[in-house]
Amino acid sequence: MTISRRTFIKASALATVGARISEGRTPVTIRQPVAQRPVVISSSNHVRLEDGTDYYNGIRATKKAFQLLLEGKDTLDAVIAGVNIVEDDPNDISVGYGGLPNEQGEVELDCSVMHGPTGRAGAVAALKYVKNPSRVAKLVMEHTDHVMLVGEGALRFALAYGFQKQNLLTERSRKIWLAWLEQHSDRDDWGPSQVPIIPEPESAEQRWIRQIIAERPTGTINCLALNEKGDLSGVTTTSGLAFKLPGRVGDSPLIGAGLYVDNQIGAAGSTGRGEEVIRTCGAHTVVENMRHGMSPLEACLDALKRIVHFYPGRPDFQVKFYAINKRGEYAGASIWSGAEFAVTDARGSRIEPCVYLYERPKKK
């Protein structure tokens, strides 16, 4: 399924109201999408395969969650069911089964969930062998007096609740990992021999893998839901930074960093460079900004500015924030242009562009 971006941008522009914000030297008009309940938003999770087929997992997740909201299901159950589709999809190399591994070739998953009506939260980090960390995080929330379990403890807990151990490294992610190992340094013994050989022509698969590892792949899905009554919940689930050091924990499983929900105010989540989001308590900052009167869009942009403030030049990484307030106004914002997010509400499912701080330089 190929989605026409123009259609979605048009749909979103029709349904927005203007707000003026001074960004850098030029004041720009940014648009805060109009309230509509229920609504589900998520990161876009654009999947592109070797054969050129592409689709948006964010659309699949928000559609599923929205459907469940219409059936009267709890907001947290709705977003978890939405992201389960992505966790189960071997083609999405940033989440769950098929997610890219750490530098040792082991898939380690991070996830947090937060339930607005009760204010409860659950999380797992560096969880191996279980493809649905969102379901395990919810069990941590419901069946323990803790908020977060990590590593071996998280795995034992999941097995106790009946999850089966499974190899999460697919053939595709194994090949990408090996290609990364061979190419990331010329000062180790991975990679082809120094002895001159006649190079073979690059196959379509090799080209696809080379393009993937040219930029360190990022991903993750954050999904936020607001039902008709005004209850909110959220989830952020990921395989984390590709080729990370074993045991590295990103922002996604940290309540207040990759996810925060306050049922009186709104919900926020993030994707992108997790270390930066942790340092600035990203999602909590966005929700606090909304508490102090900012719209979701202003709140996300302000939180991004707090990150870039540490970089006198321009940062070479991407961070995206997503937010919904209690009224149903929502936003996606990013440091660099080109980012998108998914929305499903009564008007349908669509991909909308994130509002950004900096225009990405054109590739020469």
Q: How far is the CB of 243 from ligand ASP (least distance, A)?
A: 12
Whichever of 252 and 263 has its CB closer to ligand ASP, that residue is: 252
235 Cβ contact list (under 8 Å, min separation 6): 76, 79, 80, 83, 111, 112, 113, 114, 134, 137, 221, 222, 223, 259
Q: How far is the CB of 149 from ligand ASP (least distance, A)?
A: 17
CA–chain centroid gap for 165, Å, is 24
Q: How far is the CB of 236 from ligand ASP (least distance, A)?
A: 8
Distances (CA, A) of 322 to 148, 185, 364: 23, 35, 30
Q: How far is the CB of 90 from ligand ASP (least distance, A)?
A: 18
DSSP string, 82-101: HHHHHHH-TT-TTSSTT---
Q: How far is the CB of 339 from ligand ASP (least distance, A)?
A: 11
Catalytic residue among 220, 236, 238, 344: 220
Residues near ligand ASP, by CB under 6 A: 94, 218-220, 238, 240-241, 250-252, 271-272, 274
Whichever of 94 and 102 has its CB closer to ligand ASP, that residue is: 94
201 by DSSP, 3-state: which?
Answer: coil
Cβ distance 17 to 29 under 8 Å? Answer: no
Whichever of 3 and 241 has its CB closer to ligand ASP, that residue is: 241
Residue 38: cis peptide before it, omega within 30 degrees of 0: yes
181 phi, psi to nearest 5 deg: -60, -40
Whichever of 69 and 154 has its CB closer to ligand ASP, that residue is: 154
Of 252, 298, 243, 295, the closest CA to residue 275 belongs to 252
CA dihedral in degrees (97, 148, 242, 175; nearest 10)? -30
DSSP state of 326: T
Q: In the annotation, is 220 catalytic?
A: yes
What is the sign of the dihedral through the CA atoms of 204, 205, 211 and 214?
Answer: negative
Record the tokens describing residue 44, joined without a space.
Answer: 């876009």
Q: How far is the CB of 324 from ligand ASP (least distance, A)?
A: 19
Record the tokens describing residue 327, joined without a space.
Answer: 């009224």
Whichever of 274 and 328 has its CB closer to ligand ASP, that residue is: 274
Q: How far is the CB of 110 from ligand ASP (least distance, A)?
A: 6
Whichever of 231 and 251 has its CB closer to ligand ASP, that residue is: 251
Whichever of 271 and 344 has its CB closer to ligand ASP, that residue is: 271
205 by DSSP, 3-state: which?
Answer: helix
Cβ distance 107 to 239 under 8 Å? Answer: yes
Q: Which residues does the annotation mark as catalytic?
A: 220
